[in-house]
Amino acid sequence: MTSKLVQEGLMAGDSVVIPKSNVGLIEHYGVYIGTDKMRNHIFAENNVNTGVRLVTDKTFFKNCNSVLAVKKLTGGNVERGKAVQRALSLLGKPYELVNFNCEHYSNYVQNERPNSQQVTKWFWTLLTLIILAISFRQYFKPSTLKFS
């Protein structure tokens, strides 16, 4: 899969987004680093079990047969070199779901802003559900429901 992406213009510093779940609710982000001496395609990812690490494309695309998006790094070779340096400088940093997940890591590598739209989306969804639950609870108080 990576060879096709490289043919289509994948370059060091670009982020690749793949589905993490079969239902498409969770996405996994990785940063393409380039090739090693053995000509393996290398990605940097923030893994829930190991933290930030380097993996081959075989590991990155394991159990995945599609790519949701490729987020191109803006800039030239200098910016790409800096992005790869940022990616490598965080090797070993632990994964944190809310503050430093794979999307945070990818965005930090690309633009030095560690943010996650997935976390923001889930936060607002959860908050909305809590507000709805509280509203319905007040509307359907047990004392107001009478069964004969």
Nearest CA to 95 out of 140, 47, 63 is that of 47
Residue 35 is which amino acid?
T
pLDDT in tens, 89-127: 999 999 999 899 999 999 999 999 998 977 667 666 676
Q: Is the pLDDT of residue 7 over 80?
A: no
Phi, psi (deg, nearest 5) at residue 137: -65, -40
pLDDT in tens, 48-67: 999 999 999 999 999 888 89
Say what the pLDDT of residue 2 is. 73
What's the average model confidence in pLDDT over 2-26? 85
Token pair of 140 as six digits? 């359907």
What's the average model confidence in pLDDT over 28-34? 97
Inter-residue contact 29 to 70 (CB < 8 Å): no
| pTM of the full structure | 0.80
Token pair of 102 as six digits? 């794979």
Token pair of 71 as six digits? 């987020």
